[in-house]
Amino acid sequence: MRVLVTGATGYIGSAVARALRSRGHDVVGLARTPESAEHLRAAAVEPVLGSLATLDVLRRITQEVDAVAHAAFARYGIDDMAEAGTVETAAVHAILAAAAGRPVIYTSGIGVVGETKGRAVAEDDPVDPAPGMAWRRQLELDTLAAGHGIVVRPPLVYGRAGGLVLTGLIAAAIAAGASRYVTPGDNAWPNVHVDDLGDAFALALEKAPPSTILHAVSGVSTPRAVAVAIGRLIEKPSATEGLPRNQAEGVVPFPDWLTAHQQIDARRTHELLGWLPDRPSVTDDIEFGSYRALLTPEP
């Protein structure tokens, strides 16, 4: 297939592009700047200048490919979720309309599920998103209703020394000389290695029926276990510290993300795709793997 990957220069999108190319597919990627276009060419991805805001470009290139993996996220990101939702909604609607029945993956997130309250939530179970995630849940429903869309929900994504949450936690630990978490820290925190996630996207385009929700979850840890691994990474294990929620604000990055309890059932996704994740666990990758690169400042 010839596949458009939005966000192909980003953390998740680049993994999707790598996985697709490794399976023999041709990849087209959106590039916001000429420099980004050169980066894509170096990765053997055909660049197209544009962004989520250039709807005419999105419509045109969608009509020229066999499938779309929408892995980009509006640049406003977590700094302005309302604005991000507006841009995302317009872009996804444009892609779905232009695809004319061809497969389209919309990247949502496990955050849409909300608190699971002691039950393991499977792909088609009811969800309870926080108010700030309502627009993302609506985009899931719009994608499913289109009749040719697939929804992928990643959890915490790690690996290759990246990921907004983990790099933020590690940077904070290095600066403070201590790894911190929000007590009690034993809530379920599902995760997936970025390269395993890329494989799941490729398999979804090849195998998933339309109007399917997929939970791209390969493992589960806890914020406390992650904090302990970070403490060992920075060689200050005895300084790992749990803080009550009212003391964590402004000290521990992403406290809301760290305190959500989410038990996720992903068995159907694994069985449907024949997906066999095999990368290191999140704690092993922090302590012994790719994140050790963050300890050495760039020259």
pLDDT tens for the chain, 299 residues: list them. Answer: 999 999 999 999 999 999 999 999 999 999 999 999 999 999 999 999 999 999 999 999 999 999 999 999 865 444 566 677 889 999 999 999 999 999 999 999 999 999 998 899 999 999 999 888 899 999 999 999 999 999 999 999 999 999 999 999 999 999 999 999 999 999 999 999 999 999 999 999 999 999 999 999 999 999 999 999 999 999 999 999 999 999 999 999 999 889 999 999 999 999 999 999 999 999 999 999 999 999 976 55
State how far the Cα of 95 lies from the Cα of 144, in Å rounded to an integer: 13
> Residue for token digits 């936690």?
169
State how far the Cα of 256 lies from the Cα of 247, in Å rounded to an integer: 13
Distances (CA, A) of 283 to 105, 115, 243: 29, 23, 20
Expressed as residue numbers, the domain containing 82 is 2-158+194-217
Within-domain flag for 285: yes
Angle formed by the axes of helices 134-145 and 81-99, to 10°? 0
State how far the Cα of 135 lies from the Cα of 177, in Å rounded to an integer: 38
Whichever domain contains 44, its CATH number is 3.40.50.720
Note whether 36 and 125 are same-domain residues: yes
Note whether 35 and 146 are same-domain residues: yes
Note whether 82 and 209 are same-domain residues: yes
Question: What's the number of CA atoms in the CB half-sphere (13 Å) around residue 142?
Answer: 19
Note whether 245 and 209 are same-domain residues: no
pTM for this entry: 0.95
Q: Is 298 exposed, middle or buried (0-12, 13-18, 19+ CB in 10 A)?
A: exposed
Within-domain flag for 84: yes
